[in-house]
Structure 1
Amino acid sequence: MKEIKKILVPLDFSDYSFQALEYAKAIAEKFNAEIILLNVVEPVMFIADLTMGQINIPSIESEMLQRSEEKMKETIDTLKNNFKVNGIVKLGKPDKEIIDLANSQRVDLIVIGTHGHSKVEHLLFGSTAEKVIRRSNCSVLIIKPVSQS
C-alpha cells in the first residue's frame, strides 16, 4: 500500500465537506499525514446587459475571501493540536484550484465531499468532485452525503 503523507480536503464549509474532513482526520491519524485544507471562492460575475458582457465585482469577492479566511482559521484552530494542518483560501474555479494545489503540493490523497445534487443540477452544472476525479494525478476518496436523521 502506498504511504499517505499529504491529504488535501477541499472545504466549502458545508456539512458535506466537514463529513469529508472527518474521514481525512481518521486517515491522517493512521498514517501521521499532513492535512491541507483548501477553500476556493469563485469569482462573482454580474451580467450587466448583453452589450457589456460580464462584470467582475471585486468588493463582494474581497468580502467573501475575508469570511473564508476567518472560517479557515477557526477550522484550523480546532485541528492544530492533534494534526499537522495547513489551510489555504484561493479565488478561482474549484476543480482547477484543487487539481493545481494537489499537483504543486504533491498530495497523495484528495478527500472530497459531494453535495448529492439532483440529476438536473448535475446535468446543468456538473460536479466538482467528478471533475477532480477525471483530472487528478493522485487517488480521490469521494464521501457521499450522510443523512443527519
Structure 2
Amino acid sequence: MEQTELQEFKKILIPLDGSKLAEGALKYGMSIAEKFKAEIIIVSVFSSKNPDGIFKHRIRETDPELSLEIEKMPIALLMENYHNVIKKAGKAHGVSVRGVLKDGEVSTKSVVNFLHEVFEKENPDLVILSSHGRTGFNKLKLGSVTEELIKIHGMSVLCVK
C-alpha cells in the first residue's frame, strides 16, 4: 500500500445557525483546530426582518430574566455577541476564531450562495457542519446546504450528526 501524506488543515470553516446541532460541529472544529493549529472561520446568516430568531428562543428557554433584555436587542447585535462568545472560547483553547456575519434572506439558496462567496475568498481546507439544522428564522435544512457544497466545491466536508 502506498503511503500518502496526511491532510493538514490551516483554515476550518463552520457555518452556524444557532441551533444545538450546529454547535455540535463547533466542538469538533475546536478540537481539530487545536491539534492542527488551524484558524476557525464561523459563518452565520440571519435576517433582521425576522428578529425573533432561534437565539432569542433558546435564551427564553434557559434564562427568562435575561430574555426580557434580549427581546429589546437588535438581532444583528445579538449575532455579533454570539460570535464574540465563540471567539473567546477559541482563545481559551489557543484557537484563532474569526466571524463572518450576513444580514439577509435565510433560505437554502441564499445560504449556499453566501457560503460560496466566503469559500472563494477564504479557501478553507475543511468545512465542518451539522447534518441538518433548523433555525428560528426560517426552516433551513443544512443537509441540502451540505449536498450543494460538496457538488459545487468538492472540498473536504465533515458532517456532524
Q: TM-score, normalised by structure 2?
A: 0.66
Identity between Structure 1 and Structure 2 (%)? 32
Give the secondary-structure state (helix, strand or coil) at the position aligned to 2:74.
Answer: helix
| Residue 39 of structure 1 pairs with residue 44 of structure 2 | yes
* Residue 111 of structure 2 is aligned to residue 94 of structure 1: yes
Which structure has greater helix proportion?
A: 2
Give 1:51's aligned residue: none
Instruction: Indicate whether 1:14 and 2:31 are aligned.
Output: no
Partners in 1 of 2:118 and 2:154 — Cα distance?
A: 11
The alignment covers a number of residue pairs equal to 124
User: Which residue of 2 is the match for residue 49 of structure 1?
Assistant: none
1:71-115 per-position Cα deviation (integer Å, ceiling 9, x unaligned): 111221222232011111113422111221122111100001122
Give the structure 1 partner of residue 153 of structure 2: 136
Residue type of the partner of 2:13?
L
* Counterparts of 1:116 and 1:90, CA distance in 2: 18
Query: Residue type matched to 2:158 in 1?
Result: L
Contact 1:7 1:36 in 2 (8 A): yes
1:4 aligns with 2:9: yes
Work out whether residues 103 and 137 of structure 1, in 8 Å CA contact, stay in contact via their aligned partners in 2. Answer: no
Is 1:30 equivalent to 2:41 in the alignment?
no
- Structure 1: which 5+ runs fail to align? 46-61, 145-149
Report if the CA contact (8 A) 1:108-1:138 is conserved.
Answer: yes
Does the CA contact (< 8 Å) of 1:111 and 1:141 recur in 2? yes
Residue 109 in 1 paired to residue 121 in 2?
no
RMSD: 2.7
Which residue of structure 1 aligns with residue 86 of structure 2? 75
| 2:15–2:43 CA contact under 8 A, matched in 1 | yes
* Aligned partner of 1:84 among 75, 96, 100: 96
Of Structure 1 and Structure 2, which has the larger fraction of its residues in strand? 1
